[in-house]
Amino acid sequence: MYYLGIDIGSLSCDAVLIDENETVLASSVIPTGARNVEAIQKVKTHVLDMAGIQESELKAVISTGYGRNRVDKRLKAVTEITCHARGIKASLEGTGLLIDIGGQDSKAIKLDTDGKVKDFAMNDKCAAGTGRFLEAMARALQVPIEEMSELDHGATKNLTLSSMCTVFAESEVVSLIADGVETNEIVNGLNRAIASRTISLVKRVAPELSNESVAMSGGVAKNSGVIRALNQLMGKEIKVPEQPDTIGALGAALIALEKSK
């Protein structure tokens, strides 16, 4: 039998399909778009086709993310905090602190030695430092967002942005461009600002930034520039799983397997 996890976020809809041995058979990430129900069906069809199985062979489906209650035929809807914790335990055993930055919110999750959630802090009131923030900055810089990861190389000025509000930061970036500031300096400033804001969130659950292993999930974890800035400001290496953007869906699939048993 097979088990499916679906994570419906503001920017992407992710799915992971596993078997009874916890082996990942297929995974997919697609844009959520304006109609999340259509995205859910599309991502489900995609992973089933990739694995060559029928929907009737699914034993259980667990949904997570802000649109989790939109998934039909689900066994249960589970919070993204729980799913990300379960997914990172399977991907990076021993993680004590998980940073998750998605499309519209940021989370810092403190885990115990068994990978269970001990505490968490969440910023869901503002898009600053999230995927949507980076999309807006890429538009202002007129560069593909996929290229943002490497555009900070060679920066030396440690530029500081005056605001992390998406609207004001976008206006500030436009002004910096007009003043002739190099793109790599601007991107480095953005990365440092995101890292600084993230560390403020982390300190709410881990005030001392202890020696425990730190990992990062979510789409922003694919931005190596942000990871470099976090490494520098935290003074430690942030571990990133192979597919950071599907950690929530993986956790949901693993929970589907556990719940069905």
Residue pLDDT, tens place only, 81-105? 999 999 999 999 999 999 999 888 8
CATH of region 2-83+246-260? 3.30.420.40
Q: Where in the chain is the domain with CATH 3.30.420.40?
A: 2-83+246-260, 96-240
CA distances, 238 to each of 29, 62, 157, 205, 253 (Å): 23, 28, 23, 17, 25
Whole-prediction pTM value? Answer: 0.91
pLDDT reported for residue 175:
93
pLDDT band at 245 (very low <50, low <70, confident <90, very high): very high
Q: Using CA atoms, how far apart are residues 168 and 133, in angstroms rounded to an integer?
A: 11
pLDDT reported for residue 125:
67
Whether domain 96-240 has CATH 3.30.420.40: the reply is yes
- List alpha helices for 103-246, DSSP H: 131-141, 166-178, 183-202, 224-234
